[in-house]
Chains A and B, each alone.
Chain A
Amino acid sequence: MTYTFKLNDQIFKVTFEENDGQIELEIEGEKLPVDYRKIEDNLYSIILDGQSITLGVFKKGKKIQVFLDGDLYDLESISEREQRKSSLAASGVQEIKAPMPSRVVKVLKSEGDEVTKDEGVIVIEAMKMESELKSPLAGKVRNVMAKEGDAIEAGTVLMVVASDTAPTE
C-alpha cells in the first residue's frame, strides 16, 4: 500500500509492504528495512538500520501527529486529487483563519494591499500573548473580514489573499 503524506506543504510517498512478518518501507524510492513494535496505542518503537527510535503517534482521521526528537510533526494522508489541489495552493486564493479562539488586536493590511509570503497581516491575542498571522503567499489582499477588537472563534476566516496569477472573482 502506498500512502501520500503532506508535511509543511511538502509531499512524501511511502510504500508499506509486509512479507513474512518483515516490513519493508520505501520512502521516495529509497528502500528501508524496518522493525517496529507498538508499545502503547500512541507509542511506537522503530528499529531502522540498528537505530532504536521511540516515537509518539496520534492519528485522527487523515491527520497524523508524530512526536520525534522533541518536535511535533503534523502530517496529513492525502489522495492523488488532493495532492494536485495542494500543489496549486501556493498560487491561488487562500483564506487566513484564526488558529484558536482569540481577539483581533490589529489588522495590518487593507483590501488591495500587496503582501509578500510570510508577511504579517493580522495580530491576534490569546492566552495573554499577541501573535502575528502571516500571509501564506505573495500577492494582494482580496478581502478583509477581521475588525480590530473582534472576539473570534477558531477557524473564523479573517482575510483572503490571492496571488497575482489567481483568477479574479
Chain B
Amino acid sequence: MFKKILIANRGEIAVRIIRACRELGASTVAVYSDADRRSLHVALADEAYHIGGSAPGESYLKKENIIDVARKSGAEAIHPGFGFLSENAEFAEMCEKAGIVFIGPSPEAIRLMGDKITARKIAYDAKVPLVPGSEGAVSDVEASVVAGEIGYPLMIKASAGGGGKGMRLVRTKEDFESALRMARSEARSAFGDDSVYVERFVEQPRHIEIQLIADSHGNVLHLFERECSIQRRHQKVIEEAPSGFISAKTRKKMGDVAIRIAKAVKYKGAGTIEFIMDQKQNFYFLEMNTRVQVEHPVTEMITGFDIVKWMIRIAAGEKLPFKQGDIEMNGHAVECRVYAEDPATNFMPSPGTIEYLSTPSGPGIRDDSAIYNGCEITSFYDPMLSKLIVWADTREAAIDRMAAALKDYIVLGVKTNIGFLRRVMADEEFRQCKIDTGYIERHPELINPGERDIKPALIAAAIAMENSTVSGPQSQAAAASNWKLFARRVGVTRSPLA
C-alpha cells in the first residue's frame, strides 16, 4: 500500500478521496489554486501545496505543477478524482514517466475510450449493441446520406464532445442542414475540433450505466447498474441504484456486455459504461468513463463496496478477493446533487458565500460535501455543493427518506436546487419510476410551482428587521465591558469564547 497519495482535485471528491486514504493509513497531499486556500480539502489533507491561479487552466489542469508537487512531497501515487485531469491520457503517461502511480487505467485505455469514435468501434467489435448511426466522423454529404438511412428523429454529436456541447436533436429532414452547421460550430468553439457523427435518436431514453471494477490481474467485476435519467442541461441531478425499471435478465445482459468492453481494453481500476435505454429495455452503448463517477456512492450503498478505496488498492497492485457471484445488491439508494444554482432561471449558477448551513443526518443518510459555514462558492468551478445520498430497503422507502432528509437541508447565501429536489421526491411520476432524460423539461411545475404560501417568509423578514433595529445583538454589544470592546478593536481575544 502507498504511504503517501496526492489528490489532484478539489471539492467534495477530493474530500471523499482524502477520507479513503486516511482509512487506508496513507497520508495525503492536497493541491490548491488561489481561490481554494480556504477550501475543505486543503484543511483535511496532511500536506497542501499551492499550484497556481484560480482558473482551472492555471492550476488543476497544470500537469507539470502537479507532478512537481508529487515529486517534492514524495507522494507515490496520484488520485485524479473526476473532471480536470482524470481522463487525460497524457497526464497518466507523465505520471508513469515520473515513477508515480496514476490511480486509474492505463494511458492506452484512457485514450481508446476517450475518443468517442474509437470507443464505438471497440464496442462494435466486442458485439456490444450500438445506436444505429454513422461509423465515425462524417462529411456533410456523408452525414445526409446516413441521415436518410437511419431516419428521423436523429442526433448530431461532436466527436470530441461531452456535457451536451455540440449536440443537436433533429426531428425533420428540413432542419438537418442548419442543425449540422450549428453542431459543428459549437464543437469547434468548445473542443477546437468540428468533427461530428450522426445517430438515431432514442425516444424517451433512460440513462442507465454499469459500474465496473477491474484489477491488474485480469479480474473484471460489475457492481450492477445506476439509473441517472433525471438530467438538466444534459447533466445528471438525481441518481439511483438499482434502476427501478430494468429486469434481472436485462441487468445480467448489461453487466456481461460492460465486462466485455473492459476486457477489450485491458481495463484496470473503476470505470463506468454508460448506456441509453428505450422503453422496451433495449440498451445501446453510449460511452465509457475511465474514472470514478460523481454518483459512485449509490453503488457503494447497495453493495457495501468502497469504490474509492478499491481504486487505490488496485493501483497498489492488490487483487480483488471476490468473484462476480460474491457481490450482492441490497436495498435501494438515491443520490441528489445539491447545486448552487437557481432552477427558476434555467438552473443558472449562483456563486456567493455560504452564510448558513444545516445538513441532515440520521440512519441511512450520507452527505458527501465540501462546504461549511462561511465558505466561498466561486464562479471558477462546478457549482455542485454536495451529494446527499440515502439508503433504505426499497425504492419507495429510499425516496421517502430522501424527502425527509431534504427537509433538514438549509443553505443561506446562495440559491440552491433543494426546493426543486424536494418537489421531485413528491412527484407521482418520479415515485412510479416513469422517468427519462426529458423528465425535467416535461415538468416545469417542479421548477416554478406557482402559488406558494410566502407568509412565513414575510414574517421572518419582519422579525429580522425588528431585531436589527430595536433590540437584539447590537444592544447587548453596547452593554459589553470596555475591556472586551478594547480587545475586539485590537483583535486580541484570549479564547474564541471571549
The answer to whether B358 touches A102, judged by C-beta atoms less than 8 angstroms apart, is no
> In the complex, which residues 397-415 of chain B have their Cβ closer than 8 Å to any Cβ of chain A?
406-407, 409-415
The answer to whether B412 touches A56, judged by C-beta atoms less than 8 angstroms apart, is yes
Question: What residue of chain A has the Cβ atom nearest to residue B456's Cβ?
Answer: A53
Q: How many B residues, CB 8 Å from partner?
A: 51
Known: A56-B356, A58-B412, A127-B351. A44 touches B458 (CB 8 A): no
Q: Which listed segment binds A: B140-148, B294-302, B376-384?
A: B376-384
Complex alpha-carbon distance, A58 and B412, angstroms: 7
Which residues of the other chain, A, contact B325 by a CB distance below 8 angstroms?
Answer: none
Known: A7-B454, A56-B410, A56-B412. A66 touches B466 (CB 8 A): no
The answer to whether A44 touches B355, judged by C-beta atoms less than 8 angstroms apart, is no
The answer to whether A48 touches B456, judged by C-beta atoms less than 8 angstroms apart, is yes
The answer to whether B454 touches A42, judged by C-beta atoms less than 8 angstroms apart, is no
Q: Determine how close the nearest CB of chain A comes to the CB of B458; give it in whole angstroms.
A: 5
Interface membership of B127, Cβ < 8 A: no
Partner of B413, one of A3, A14, A65, A102: A65
Q: Which listed segment binds A: B42-50, B68-76, B416-424?
A: B416-424
Q: Which listed segment binds A: B5-13, B102-110, B250-258, B341-349?
A: B341-349
Interface membership of A69, Cβ < 8 A: yes
The range of chain A's interface size is 35 or more
Number of A-B contacts (CB under 8 A): 152
> In the complex, which residues 1-58 of chain A have their Cβ closer than 8 Å to any Cβ of chain B?
1, 3, 5, 7, 12, 14, 16, 18, 25, 27, 32, 34, 36, 38, 40-44, 46, 48, 53-58
The answer to whether A58 touches B454, judged by C-beta atoms less than 8 angstroms apart, is no
Which residues of the other chain, A, contact B416 by a CB distance below 8 angstroms?
Answer: 72
Interface membership of A77, Cβ < 8 A: yes
Complex alpha-carbon distance, A107 and B409, angstroms: 38
Which residues of the other chain, B, contact A3 by a CB distance below 8 angstroms?
Answer: 461-462, 465
The answer to whether B413 touches A43, judged by C-beta atoms less than 8 angstroms apart, is no
Which residues of the other chain, B, contact A134 by a CB distance below 8 angstroms?
Answer: 345
Given A41-B356, A58-B355, 8 additional A-B pairs, CB 8 A? A7-B454, A32-B455, A32-B459, A36-B459, A57-B464, A70-B406, A71-B452, A127-B380
- Tell me the B residues contacting A by CB distance below 8 Å: 163, 233, 345-351, 355-356, 358, 379-383, 406-407, 409-416, 418-423, 452, 454-469, 473
